Amino acid sequence: MSEKEIVSPESTVSYEGLFEPKELFRIIQKWLKENHHDFVEKEAFEKAIDNKRFVKYSLESFKKINDYAKFIIKLKITLSNLEDVVVEHENQKLPMCKGKVSVSLTGILESDYENRWETKPVYFFLRTVFNKFIFKTEMSYLKNRLKGEINGLKFEIKSFLNLYKF
């Protein structure tokens, strides 16, 4: 069985104001593709009450680093109190949404994801010894790299949401 270690506990980016939800999703997917992450949509939920909508969207991205380790980034995007508005900016009418956005990111480092070291008890023991003494620096490097990717995605989301403060 593979080992999953939470490297970056859940951190949240919140924003309240004007934005475009489709553009937010596009920015996130673009960043994941540019950084060679494959992603799977886990949940998509939308509920409308009166003129306001609630959207919950979660996805999981994977990036194989080598034959032994891979990165997993879990994203939970919650859009609440969404309502469509028309904003006039520089003599142009722009359709946008007004509401609250919350994006939660969790970074997980999964080792031995192909279960190669689980077939025999001797292999399991050797894996434990190797992780403890030999792969210690490499695992530390991979953890820091995953934290850097999480911070890069958070920065991209924050930058996008700050564009709409006008």
Q: Can you state the angle between helices 21-34 and 136-162, rounded to 10 degrees?
A: 150
How do residues 91-104 score in pLDDT, each as one tens digit? Answer: 888 888 899 999 99
- What H or E segment, with its residue span, contains residue 99? strand 92-111
Res 112: pLDDT: 78
Res 76: pLDDT: 96
CA distance linking residue 40 with residue 52, whole number of Å: 27
Domain boundaries, the chain: 3-162
pLDDT of 88 > 90? The answer is: no
Question: Residue 166 — pLDDT band, cuts 50, 70, 90?
Answer: low
CA distance linking residue 77 with residue 12, whole number of Å: 10
Q: What is the pTM of this model?
A: 0.86
